[in-house]
Structure 1
Amino acid sequence: MPSWFKYCYRDEQKSTFAAAKKVAFEWLDACPTDVIRRFINCAWGFMSTYRCGLTGRAAEWAVKKQRGHRAVSERAMRQL
């Protein structure tokens, strides 16, 4: 969601702070549900890895390898 929002927001013309704030709220309201769901699922994966004690690159790798539902699989953890 953050990258989708930034991409859309940067294309808009903004001359004042009030205009920028208005455009920001318009694009946040226009964000598709599937984009929000994908962002939340990715965040769940990172939260799961942090609970398991992984940080940094190890957490990134585990999230990419994960095949479970909202949790890092035991198989991915064993490969570390």
Structure 2
Amino acid sequence: MRAKKSSDLISPTGLIKLMTHAMMGAALGLVFGLALVLFNPAVANLLSHGGSQATIVFVLTLVATFAIGATLTGVVFILEENKQS
């Protein structure tokens, strides 16, 4: 009988992998927000009339959404990696 090994998500290496995925998602969210502002004048106009609060909410929403999505995708990738090995 094979001994059941613990999941890689709980180990320090797994947490570092998850943090890496979250940071990549946050960077991707920032790049997407910048591209959206640069290539869509309507968004830039809304942000300029909304003040600093609108800009902060816009950026934080994009960064959080992309970071959460990338972290969840990282969980799936790590679990699939464990199944194959």
TM-score range, shorter chain: 0.3 to 0.5
Structure with greater Cα Rg: 2
State TM-score, norm by structure 1.
0.36
Name the structure where helix makes up a greater proportion of residues.
Answer: 2
State TM-score, norm by structure 2.
0.34
* Bigger RCO (CA 8 Å, 6+ sep): 2
